[in-house]
Amino acid sequence: MMAKKSQLPRSFNHQQALVIGLGQFGVSLARSLTRRGVEVMAVDVKMERVDAISDEVADAICMDAADEASLAKTAPGRRDVSICAIGDDSRENSIIVTALLKQMGAPHIIARATDPVHERILTLVGAHEVLNPERAFGERLAARLSSQNVLDEIPLGTGLVVSDIRPPAYVVGRTLAELALPRSHKMTVVAIRRPTETGVTTHLPDPMVPIGPDEILTVVAAPGVASAFASSGKS
């Protein structure tokens, strides 16, 4: 096991995360967590991947995480979250690592799956959450392509979706109080983004302010509701 220390400042008050597997998904996750103040230990079996991120995370370690003795040295039981981001190039190792993390008392385990069978196995061996980044991206892209007014969608559990939408023409100039979207469409506007001279600002919605033509509405609703609303021509 080879470790590389970063010069990033440490804080014992910050969350600690263990990210195992430094492909595109793992690297992006490790960098994003670090930017949000999380102390990240990044692990991969390939030294070139460890070298590439060593200056951007708290610790970067080159080791085989499927080796029980090596993984134990990362102290997963003391990390707030452990993410097995190993890709489809080593499904067997991702299952072994997830099971070892569970055995070592990791309090919250998130694992990356590549298909439904892999997802079920990861859940069975101890993952608290299972992600499929490729499937999630495909679903979000499909939602955007199927409606020009849907800019992005993110699942919120199994029964709700958070969507960024352009307002359809018939709601421009009308207020949220007038539209009564929770009653008429079973949809709630939780934020509004407005363009300004210096960029875009995000606001909590004021039910008495008319909706502008260039605004983006962030809404929460059941799957399909926001896209149908954004594509509709009447209330």
| Average pLDDT of adjacent 10-residue blocks, the chain of 235 residues | 51 79 94 94 95 95 96 96 88 94 96 92 94 80 75 82 91 93 93 86 93 93 88 66
pLDDT of amino acid 11? 47
In the chain, what are the domain boundaries? 2-131, 136-231
In sign, the C-alpha dihedral spanning 42, 108, 155, 185 is negative
Q: How far apart are CA 235 and CA 221, in angstroms?
A: 16
Q: How far apart are CA 41 and CA 64, in angstroms?
A: 14
pLDDT of amino acid 233? 63
pLDDT of amino acid 12? 46
* Residues belonging to the chain: 235
Q: How far apart are CA 123 and CA 115, in angstroms?
A: 12
Q: Which CATH class is domain 136-231?
A: alpha beta
Candidates 66, 33, 63; CA nearest to 46 is: 63
Are 180 and 187 contacting, i.e. CB atoms less than 8 angstroms apart?
Answer: no
pLDDT of amino acid 3? 56
Are 109 and 193 contacting, i.e. CB atoms less than 8 angstroms apart?
Answer: no
Q: Which CATH class is domain 2-131?
A: alpha beta
